[in-house]
Structure 1
Amino acid sequence: MIEFIKVTKMFTQNKGLKDVNIKINNETIGIIGPNGSGKTTFIELLLGFFKPDKGEIKIKDVLSNSFNFNLKDIAYVSANTNLPLEISIKDYIKYIKTLENSENFNKELEKLANIFIFDIEDKTTIGSLSSGMIQKLKIIISTASDKDIYIFDEPTRGLDPIAIDIFSKIIRKIKSRNKTIIYCSHIIDEIEQNCNRAIIIKDNIIVKDINLSNKNINLKDEFKSFYNYQDLEDY
């Protein structure tokens, strides 16, 4: 489904990705690393926002930066507030429905809105919402659609514990449909709970590819071993 072949993209000497080789096929993979390690670059390359300096990225055998690449196959929740803040929730939902043009999408949208207790008929502007409510709106819209690939970049940022639990249940439902999910997070517990595979990025390089179905693996210990973190009792 997704393949990075010897991919390098460097914006500065210390920002980007180096020599990435990875295949992802109908699985939920977590991407872990501190700020500036290359997580966002991985996602932006996958979405075709940038062309690699070296190598190729293929999605369903199509190059991600080619004219034949179709972003409609991908649902994306970014870490940033990338919604039009000046229009109302109701008008934005109406616009999204015209893009999707699907009765199933409309039904799923209403179902998710009810679960999150989110009024999609509200005439309040998106810009007046809290960061948590904006995040809920992004999740509702992206997961209501039936896509082949779902990309979540820090998806639980700003969410309360109940909303985080709801989101985890949504992830499990998507996984049951054998979809590909890319889950980028600083929160290791979320990766362990929601993913069956994880990659650790350090200094713009993938340093570890971990099968989380192996119960002998402790993801926190693996992560700390690469970043020399100490337990609190050693502080």
Structure 2
Amino acid sequence: MIETFQLSKVYSRQEVLSGLNLRCEAGQSIALIGPNGAGKTTLSKIILGQVIASSGRVEVNGIDINRGPDYRRELGYMPQVSRFPVRMKTHQLFKLMRRLRPDVGEGEYDTELYEELEIDGMKNKALGALSGGMRQRVSAALAFYFNPRVLILDEPTAGLDPLANEVLKAKIRKCVREQRLVITTSHILNDLEEICNHVIYLLEGKVHFAGSIDELQERTGETRLNRMVVSLIKNKPARAQYQ
């Protein structure tokens, strides 16, 4: 569903991404991990169309994303920090988003998270008055609301209470069973271990590892994701072809 070809990005002579060749398929739940400054956010923003690559290209469903913005209809995005209009009420936000997506019919909305995270209970509250955890719930519900085939989630469980955390993780697992593609960036490896079946580990803008959890387990001899990652860093195995 998403493929990158020699993707690179340079900021002020600093190469943030260097020749990334990645292939991400439907039914994969990918943990996009790496230290701060590894290029995770830049890669996500290029896919989302928020940043322009310096060279190389990205294809979504075989179509170069530079050909136009229509591919974004396939994407759902949950940022680490949501910036909503502070005076707008929650129900007004969802009403506005529906107006911005006239291509989605009334019966096509995915309201599962909206209901399970009890967004209706805060519909008349101003977004600026919501706590961080409540804003995170709204952001999660919005990311899935238009039934996207690809989801890009940035630290999605940060700030969620335990119940909401489990609801979101169950939803992600369901999306994978439905053959959607989910890409999650997080430093909470325990959460990633529960929802991901593949790993992309970026280091200094390059692919240090890309493959399935099973492949990583076999390579490192470890059974827990956090220990796999530590072993990966220490041993610096050769890069895997992601496909």
Q: Name the TM-score class by shorter chain.
A: 0.7 to 0.9
Q: 2:230 aligns with which of 213, 224, 231?
A: 224
Output the CA distance in 2 between the equivalents of 1:152 and 1:43.
9
TM-score (norm 1): 0.87
CA contact (8 A) 1:14 1:203 kept: no
- Alpha-carbon RMSD: 2.2
In structure 1, the residue matched to 2:138 is: 137
CA contact (8 A) 1:79 1:153 kept: yes
1:197-216 alignment runs, 5 A limit? 197-214=198-215, 216=218
Displacement of 1:71: 1.0
State whether structure 2 residue 107 is matched by structure 1 residue 104: yes
1:20-169 alignment runs, 5 A limit? 20-26=20-26, 27-67=28-68, 69-100=70-101, 101-106=104-109, 108-109=110-111, 111-119=112-120, 122-169=123-170
Name structure 2 gaps, 5 residues minimum: 235-243
Secondary structure of the structure 2 residue equivalent to 1:70: helix
What amino acid is aligned across from residue 86 of structure 1 in structure 2?
R
Deviations along 1:8-31, one digit per CA (max 9) or x if unpaired, are: 102245562111111011011110
CA contact (8 A) 2:8 2:15 kept: no
Output the CA distance in 1 between the equivalents of 2:122 and 2:138.
12
CA contact (8 A) 2:60 2:71 kept: no
Structure 1 window deviating more from structure 2 (191-200 vs 81-90): it is: 81-90
Name structure 1 gaps, 5 residues minimum: 229-235
Number of residues of Structure 1 aligned to a counterpart in Structure 2:
227
Secondary structure of the structure 2 residue equivalent to 1:222: helix
**Structure 1 residues 38 and 66 mapped into 2: Cα distance closer, same or farther (>3 Å)?**
same
What amino acid is aligned across from residue 102 of structure 1 in structure 2?
G
Deviations along 1:145-200, one digit per CA (max 9) or x if unpaired, are: 21121110111111111111110110011111101111111111222211110011
Secondary structure of the structure 1 residue equivalent to 2:50: coil
Secondary structure of the structure 1 residue equivalent to 2:100: helix
Displacement of 1:81: 1.6
Percent identity over paired residues: 25
CA contact (8 A) 1:74 1:150 kept: yes
CA contact (8 A) 1:9 1:53 kept: yes
Displacement of 1:48: 1.7
Displacement of 1:114: 2.9
Output the CA distance in 1 between the equivalents of 2:188 and 2:14.
23
Secondary structure of the structure 1 residue equivalent to 2:66: coil
Q: Which has the higher helix share?
A: 2
